[in-house]
Amino acid sequence: MNALINYLIENLIIDFQGDLNLEMVRAFLRDDDSRDARALLSKLVEDRGVSDMMITLADCLHDYIKTGINDEVVREQIRLYTES
């Protein structure tokens, strides 16, 4: 049973529902004047959209499936993406 569970967890795919785009991110961050928000917007403009961020974030969050995905984990992963 453990081998099956490990296999399923290792092959679990994280995906995001909905069609997030740059304009939606701008709207979500409209009232956020933090350094992180400005840096993320700058990175997304440089990347010409959110596709790379979404793929990277899903890949990175996979590592946290066993320990849990929460607000702080997602925040840190977005920060790491922004700094890459």
Q: What is the pLDDT of residue 66?
A: 86
Q: What is the pLDDT of residue 35?
A: 95
Quote the CA–CA distance of 51 and 19 in Å, as a whole number.
10
The domain locations on the chain are 2-83
Of 78, 28, 26, which is closest to residue 54 (Cα–Cα)? 78
Of 59, 83, 82, which is closest to residue 69 (Cα–Cα)? 59
Quote the CA–CA distance of 57 and 19 in Å, as a whole number.
15
Q: Please tell me the pTM assigned to this model.
A: 0.80
35 neighbors 55 (Cβ within 8 angstroms): no
Query: 45-76 pLDDT, tens per residue?
Result: 999 999 999 999 999 999 898 899 999 999 99
